[in-house]
Amino acid sequence: MVDVEIRPPRPEEYAAAGEVTVLAYDVDGHLAGDVGYDAQLRDIARRAEEAEVLVAVDDTGEVLGTVTVVLPGSPYAEISRPGELEFRMLAVAPSARGRGIGEALTRAVLDRARALGIGKVVLSSLDGMRSAHRLYERLGFARLAERDWRPFPHISLIAYQIDV
């Protein structure tokens, strides 16, 4: 596992965290034809107001990854229900992939659920995010097929869950 600090971003890191998120989605082709989602991915300031954002920062202060932690019923919630914590927009800078940053951020979400006394974590993932799916399954997440959904006709999201 890489040695990074996982914490909320500082306001001066919002732009870098937003760019990491957009770049991670874009380099994998997950923004193709999706007008406007890049602006939502980039807007860390808004997410930090309405959800809990975490960043992975190395010892030089470079933002290497980010994730958004969401409570049910909050503005960024998609599939969470009472008693569940949800996370969204997990992203790792392409230059930092393969170093355990995605896993560190995901484990931080699980730790956050435990700290809040929440027993389950859920998420939606684009059907094509295969490397993310491998990470989730390796960590013990199970498919939650009954909550798969389509926010738009051309976008399929699949759901996962884990008990913590």
- From the options 3.30.70.260, 3.40.50.1010, 3.40.630.30, 3.40.50.880, give the CATH code of 5-163: 3.40.630.30
pLDDT of residue 35: 63
Q: For 3-13, what is the mean pLDDT?
A: 97
pLDDT higher than threshold 60 for residue 1 = no
For the chain, what is the HEC assignment?
A: CCCCEEECCCHHHHHHHHHHHHHHHHHCCCCCCCCCHHHHHHCHHHHHHHCEEEEEECCCCCEEEEEEEECCCCCCCCCCCCCEEEEEEEEECHHHCCCCHHHHHHHHHHHHHHHHCCCEEEEEEECCCHHHHHHHHHCCCEECHHHCEEEECCEEEEEEEEEC
| pLDDT tens-digit readout, 87-134 | 999 999 999 999 999 999 999 999 999 999 999 999 999 888 988 999
Of 21-30, 33-42, 79-88, 113-122, the range with the lowest mean pLDDT is 33-42
* Per-domain residue ranges of the chain: 5-163
| Model pTM score | 0.94
